Structure 1
């Protein structure tokens, strides 16, 4: 079976809206730096995040989530993956904040099984779904392979993720499929998010797909007559060339 290139897939996810609407075959291809903003942990972040020990994931959870992200958007010769983009930091902060708590969502019953077009339907807010699902994933891996997810080979990890996506692997307390869908969506979000939120470190994902970032406007380039325009990406915090201290 042939798949489109990872570059085309990631570009379509960036410019085409939601990632989770893409077909499963597309994600099979995902399994498989130029100029950037100076990046430091917590730079530009609200003070309540503290250090990563104070965020949401335990060390074991963080290791497992990082391994999952690394398989969803792998590092290879074609371009940077979730590891280079530091997606795990984005996810850790998101789970520790209002998104992880479902703070802006209606989270009261009744809870019914929704359709694919209705979005997130779990009774658990995202952080709680992560916590329950990661515990069940760890139990499954240790029962089957006598090791946690992060310690498995890439092929074994891909097989488990595919089993969750295809609903061939199920968990007792929460939906393995719902967790897979959510972490895939969140991984893509962290890969392409503005670096101020913790992921897309040094804007590596924007460099990779040629996205110019959060520029004020493009009036200077309206009359380019279809010619290619190569612009270094700009974060909400700007870029090195705009920093007079450098």
Structure 2
């Protein structure tokens, strides 16, 4: 949530993400290439947008309210482009937690679990599913204790943003380590769902790709790499759908 000094957060994203190749806009379960079954369970059919009245398969109603509120804080809709909720990012996160990613099925999850430098990889016995369940529980408990019994989703938008900034900055001390959950899962997964291929359940109608002028999975656009003007054609998803 930290903004560059001379540019708005969304403008910064628009300028920096536009040059990232499609392979780099990964998804949570793509440590290895996802299986066909995982893709089928995590994504809607190629011509079906994220449903307005989507029913979460993993999150409880209170957790779902948190995820929607948090995603809206991280990437809100504004004059630059669509917001995370509008592009189905909460749905993306819920779907991913129902794949092997949610159970950490492709991660080494045996002990010993010790604190270590980032280059040593993930050091926790908690799966992504458990991170979300316990992380949301810890955040809501803290909010209720410090905001007159209100959960995170019940706070005013300005309060939510200020709280997440404090979490990101490590200003809130807690037993669960909300900062690690925020940076390692919530923020990361929100970015994935917003900028990833729609086949994974987010980035509805390739809205973020249109915003930054990203061509998507087009076979050839080398001649435009050195051009200073915007790419003139709409994006293409890995399903072949054109934006």
Give the TM-score of the pair, scaled to structure 1.
Answer: 0.77
**Alpha-carbon shift at residue 112 of structure 1 (Å):** 1.1
Q: Deviations over 1:14-72 (max 9, x none)?
A: 645589xxxxxxxxxxxxxxxxxxxxx82249xxxxx9546211111111011111111
1:88-143 Cα distance to aligned partner (Å, 9 max, x none): 00000011111111110001111111224444322211111110010111111111
Name whichever structure is richer in helix by fraction.
1
Long gaps (5+) in structure 1: 20-40, 46-50, 242-246
The answer (yes or no) to whether the contact 2:18–2:213 under 8 Å persists in 1 is: no
Within 1, Cα distance between the matches of 2:135 and 2:56? 21
Q: Where in structure 2 are there 5+ consecutive unaligned residues? A: 27-42, 48-52
SS at match of 1:137: helix
Q: Name the residue aligned to 1:186.
A: 189
Which residue number in structure 1 is paired with residue 165 of structure 2?
Answer: 162
Partner of 2:208: 205
Residue aligning to 2:11: 7
1:108-123 equivalences in 2 (<5 Å): 108-123=110-125
2:17 and 2:173 map into 1 onto residues whose CA distance is 27
| RMSD of equivalent CA atoms | 2.7
Residue of structure 2 in register with 1:66 after alignment? 68
1: CA distance, partners of 2:85 / 2:224: 38
Distance 2:225 2:96 in 1: 39
Q: Is the 8 A contact 2:103 2:128 kept in 1?
A: yes
Partner of 2:35: none
Change in 2 beyond 3 A, CA 1:13/1:119? farther
CA distance in 2, matches of 1:78, 1:11: 12
Deviation sequence 1:197-227 (CA, Å, 0-9, x none): 1100011000011101111233xx6389736
In the alignment, the residues of structure 1 paired with residue 129 and residue 18 of structure 2 have an alpha-carbon distance, to the nearest angstrom, of 24
Q: 1:171 aligns with which of 171, 174, 182?
A: 174
Within 2, Cα distance between the matches of 1:73 and 1:112? 33
The corresponding residue for 2:94 is 92
Q: Which residue of 2 aligns with 1:48?
A: none
Report the 3-state secondary structure (helix = DSSP H, G, I; strand = E; otherwise coil) of the residue aligned with 2:102: helix
Helix, strand or coil: the match of 1:222?
Answer: helix
Residues 1:56 and 2:58 aligned together = yes
The aligned runs of 1:147-158 (5 Å cut-off) are 147-158=150-161
- Does 2:233 match 1:235? no
Corresponding residue for residue 222 of structure 1: 223
> 1:101: which partner in 2?
103
Partner of 2:97: helix, strand, or coil?
helix
